[in-house]
A and B are shown apart, each in its own frame.
Chain A
Amino acid sequence: EAQVTQNPRYLITVTGKKLTVTCSQNMNHEYMSWYRQDPGLGLRQIYYSMNVEVTDKGDVPEGYKVSRKEKRNFPLILESPSPNQTSLYFCASSWGADNQPQHFGDGTRLSIL
């Protein structure tokens, strides 16, 4: 089954404790992206990757890092999480051309205390 898998689905942690949210897709997609979803703000892009070793900032990259060492994986790293990063996070992937729709994972709800 074609899917985008995120882990963990839920995480409660404390300020400053480094965490990583993993994302994996099994569709051989070139393009992968991370979004955060906040009430009243919709979905905002954090980082995206056009292919292996190619990443770029989205609209709200501050406080986040990503890496793309393999095509299927695109982890999101919070080196020193803060409470304003409490949010619902989604990973998405697509073939990469401008007109290809993105497929989303089921989300990761992060709470930073």
Chain B
Amino acid sequence: GQQLNQSPQSMFIQEGEDVSMNCTSSSIFNTWLWYKQDPGEGPVLLIALYKAGELTSNGRLTAQFGITRKDSFLNISASIPSDVGIYFCAGTFTGANSKLTFGKGITLSVRP
């Protein structure tokens, strides 16, 4: 089946640093989504991407839909302590009946 790869499993950064996360897939997706999960809560949508090459920002977050349709990245600039959490990429493709495929997530820790 479809697989999304996110690595590393954990990232540790200093407050104020920028961080980039990558997500790759074994096949083509036509929608890429980035979610963040805070402890004890459900994933919350950060950014949705619908077109190859699309670059979208949401505050300090920027995400891009890769040209090959097999990858996406998320950048967080000037990190702050509340950026701590698990970041998931997810994708769907034509004919998937809205089925989302999720990466395994990256746990981000921000040192003050």
Cα A43 to Cα B86 in complex, Å, equals 12
Q: Total A-B residue pairs with C-beta atoms closer than 8 Å?
A: 69
Stretch from A14-22, A61-69, A72-80, A102-110 at the B interface: A102-110
* Residue in A42, A99, A105 whose CB lies within 8 Å of B92: A99
Cα A105 to Cα B44 in complex, Å, equals 9
A residues 1-58 in Cβ contact with B at 8 Å: 4, 31, 33, 35, 40-45, 48, 50, 56, 58
* Residue in A35, A59, A97 whose CB lies within 8 Å of B98: A97
B82 within 8 A of A: no
Task: Please determine whether B98 and A50 come into contact, CB atoms closer than 8 angstroms.
Answer: yes
Q: A42-B105, A48-B99 are in contact. Are A98 and B30 (CB under 8 A)?
A: yes
Would you give the shortest CB distance from A78 to chain B, in whole angstroms? Answer: 20
B residues 95-112 in Cβ contact with A at 8 Å: 95-100, 102-105
Cα A4 to Cα B41 in complex, Å, equals 12
Would you give the shortest CB distance from A96 to chain B, in whole angstroms? Answer: 6
Q: A43-B88, A43-B102 are in contact. Are A50 and B97 (CB under 8 A)?
A: yes
* Residue in B43, B88, B100 whose CB lies within 8 Å of A45: B100
Cα A90 to Cα B35 in complex, Å, equals 14
Q: A59-B1, A107-B40, A107-B42 are in contact. Are A102 and B31 (CB under 8 A)?
A: no
B residues sitting closer than 8 Å to A (CB atoms) are 1, 9, 30-31, 33, 35, 40-45, 48, 50, 88, 92-100, 102-105
Q: Which 6 A-B pairs have the closest CB atoms?
A: A104-B42, A42-B104, A43-B102, A99-B31, A31-B98, A104-B43
